């Protein structure tokens, strides 16, 4: 999911976080199902989360995050925002910004770094340099267990607190 974080520099305890070398935003557009995430207040209670990315004519990306609250049959929750590329040589570093209707002030723009991406755009892992946010997303609601495990292992090696992951389905 495209989350919201305040911009800040990386902790000196972490190595610089590498992103994928190239992202085709047209291939990236569409629906992504959340497989796992590090939970934060803006996604509290979310299950069956889906992020939809649409390329706008101005080059920005419309972001629509949807989920059910607490149970698969719970109340629907939706947040709409925008994203834009900050590293045009790779398209792998973006900023995202949401403004929720029940909160009058827009959030600061947050980092959205694509740190792993399947060559066929079937799965992706997204994080940011402080390692506070992490999403594992798939084009399908269920990801093969060996892929999920490999992504979690990579996230652990990169310094993400994978013990905080919330899984949408099976726990690894």
Domains and CATH numbers, the chain: 25-167 (2.40.128.20)
* Partner residues linked to 167 by β-bridges: 36
Strands (DSSP E) contained in the chain are 30-38, 46-55, 61-69, 76-85, 93-98, 110-117, 123-127, 134-138, 165-167
Query: Confidence band (pLDDT; 50, 70, 90) for 169?
Result: low
Q: Which of 6-20, 115-129, 132-146 has the lowest mean pLDDT?
A: 6-20
pLDDT at residue number 13: 67
CA-closest candidate to residue 83, choices 99, 95, 65: 95
Task: Look at 12 and 31; give whichever has higher pLDDT.
Answer: 31
Count Cβ neighbours within 10 Å for each residue of 136-154 and write b for 16 or more, e otherwise.
Answer: bbbeeeebeeeebeebbee
Q: Percent of the chain, pLDDT > 70?
A: 84
pLDDT at 59 (0 to 100): 92
Look up the pTM and report it.
Answer: 0.85
Q: What is the token pair recorded at 70? A: 């607490």
pLDDT in tens, 41-66: 778 889 999 999 999 999 999 999 99
Q: What is the pLDDT of residue 7?
A: 36
Residues 113-121: contacts with CB under 8 Å, at least 24 apart: 113/17, 113/19, 114/19, 114/20, 114/23, 115/17, 115/18, 115/19, 115/20, 115/158, 116/20, 116/151, 116/154, 117/20, 117/23, 117/28, 117/92, 121/24, 121/27, 121/28
Contact predicate 46/40, CB 8 Å? no
Dihedral angle of Cα 161, 164, 170, 171, to the nearest 10 degrees: 70
Task: Give the whole-angstrom CA distance, residue 127 versus residue 142.
Answer: 20
């Amino acid at each position: 999911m495209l989350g919201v974080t305040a911009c800040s520099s990386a902790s000196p305890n972490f190595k610089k976080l590498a992103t994928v070398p190239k992202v085709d935003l047209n291939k990236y557009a569409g629906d992504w199902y959340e497989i796992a995430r590090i939970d934060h207040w803006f996604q509290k209670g979310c299950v069956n989360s889906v992020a939809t990315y649409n390329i706008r004519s101005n080059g920005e990306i419309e972001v629509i995050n949807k989920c059910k609250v607490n149970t698969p049959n719970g109340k629907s929750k939706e947040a709409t925002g925008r994203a834009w590329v900050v590293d045009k040589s790779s398209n792998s570093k973006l900023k995202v910004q949401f403004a929720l209707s029940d909160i009058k002030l827009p959030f600061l723009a947050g980092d959205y770094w694509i740190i792993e991406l399947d060559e066929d755009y079937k799965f992706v892992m997204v994080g940011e340099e402080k390692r506070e946010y992490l999403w594992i997303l798939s084009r399908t609601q269920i990801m093969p267990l060996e892929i999920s495990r490999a992504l979690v292992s990579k996230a652990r090696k990169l310094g993400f607190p994978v013990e905080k992951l919330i899984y949408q389905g099976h726990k690894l």
